[in-house]
Amino acid sequence: MSNSAIAVSGLRKTYGDKVVLDGIDLDVRAGTVFSLLGPNGAGKTTTVNVLSTLAKADGGSVRVAGHDIATEAKAVRAAIGVTGQFAAVDELLTGYENLQLMVDLHGVSDEDGKRTVAELLERFDLVEAAKKPASTYSGGMRRKLDLAMTLIGNPQIIFLDEPTTGLDPRSRRTMWSIIRDLVADGVTIFLTTQYLEEADQLADRIAVLDQGRLVAQGTPDDLKRQIPGTHVRLRFTDVSQLDAAARLFPDTTRDDEALTLRVPSDGGTRSLRALLERLDEYSLSAEEFSVHTPDLDDVFLALTGHATEVVAK
Ligand SMILES: Nc1ncnc2c1ncn2[C@@H]1O[C@H](COP(=O)(O)OP(=O)(O)O)[C@@H](O)[C@H]1O
Ligand SMILES: [Mg+2]
């Protein structure tokens, strides 16, 4: 237990007569990244809100940084930082002023505060932007500023609620590298995401949340063993072509009705060329050819037998 940053057992949360979290058990080791993966409406934000003491649980027990959220909320709050799904940045203030506000809130001394703010601006590449109001920032800059503000309290455990949703690929990668640096510094990260790739890239352990229940938990490799990996999908015009192609490649999965064949592949140009040459060699031609990278839908289909359901907000 001493190595546990977050320990959750039988957590329940209801809003009115709607059960939002229906008995959640999880354990997050200190110094690791734990990712809660789920579609919109699954209960990710609710989980973050309860674990970070922003909302009250209706059942079960939760310890964060060794403290009970129900009886030691203050100690929990002192140990954590939360970067919400909707940035807590004050639009009217400049980046610098937003950070300075956090310095004042945490009662950091003037000198330490100035140094910390300067370091954070440098680290998050916000030195230029610091003089401008946050309303002029891009989504990625706003997320970085929000996280920088969270770091001023020196939290041991950081909750990141969908930190990259809506960001362009470049800003997403920047955020990933910031998260990796934080973990290297010994911080524990509780990250929610709708992206399988993100959880795969960052997390030591992933839990899959579906309508308030965890449907799977394990390392990224554990999960990937349960879902189809990257593959090429070929569609043929008739069954004889499909038959012939299925004999050419190992470990394929076929759908006779759709006349499609799923061939495992890394999706790289070299293996794609080899695959096409092989087909050509046997005078087979596919009607349709697509490279498919597994996403959240594949995870849900494989783990629950149903597609992701978007719950009305
Ligand atoms: N304050 C609230 N009052 C009533 N229902 C809520 C409240 N917050 C969340 N919910 C409901 O709980 C479910 C889970 O929401 P949420 O935790 O925000 O999911 P996620 O973050 O995974 O998208 C949704 O059906 C949502 O409508
Ligand atoms: Mg949410």
How many angstroms separate the Cα of 121 from the Cα of each of 84, 108, 130, 131, 295?
20, 17, 7, 11, 34
* Protein residue with its CA nearest to atom 4 in ligand 1: 15
* Protein residue with its CA nearest to atom 8 in ligand 1: 46
**Ligand 1 nearest atom to the CA of residue 209, by list position:** 22
Closest ligand (CA of 162): 2
Q: Regarding predicted confidence, which is higher, 181 or 292?
A: 181
Q: How far is ligand 2, taken at its centre, from the CA of residue 311, in Å?
A: 11
15-19, 220-224, 250-254, 297-301, range with the lowest pLDDT: 297-301
**Residues in contact with 48: Cβ distance below 8 Å, sequence separation at least 6, in sequence order:** 54, 82, 84, 159, 161, 190, 192
Phi, psi values for residue 47, rounded to 5°: -60, -50
Q: How far is ligand 2, taken at its centre, from the CA of residue 305, in Å?
A: 23
Q: pLDDT tens, 59-112?
A: 999 999 999 999 999 999 999 999 977 668 999 999 999 999 999 988 888 899
| Helix and strand totals (H; E) in the chain | 11, 14
With bands split at pLDDT 50, 70 and 90, how would you rate the model's confidence at 250?
Answer: confident
Do 236 and 286 form a contact (C-beta atoms < 8 A)?
yes
Do 34 and 21 form a contact (C-beta atoms < 8 A)?
no
Ligand 1 pocket: which residues have CB below 6 Å?
A: 15, 20, 38, 40-46, 311, 313
Distance CA 29, CA 5 (A): 5
Phi, psi values for residue 132, rounded to 5°: -100, 150
Q: pLDDT tens, 269-298?
A: 999 999 999 999 999 999 999 998 887 778
- Ligand 1, from 45, 52, 85, 214: best to mutate by most atoms within 8 Å of Cβ? 45
β-strands 33-37, 188-193: how paired? Answer: parallel
Distance CA 195, CA 193 (A): 5
Q: How far is ligand 2, taken at its centre, from the CA of residue 189, in Å?
A: 16
Distance CA 309, CA 28 (A): 27
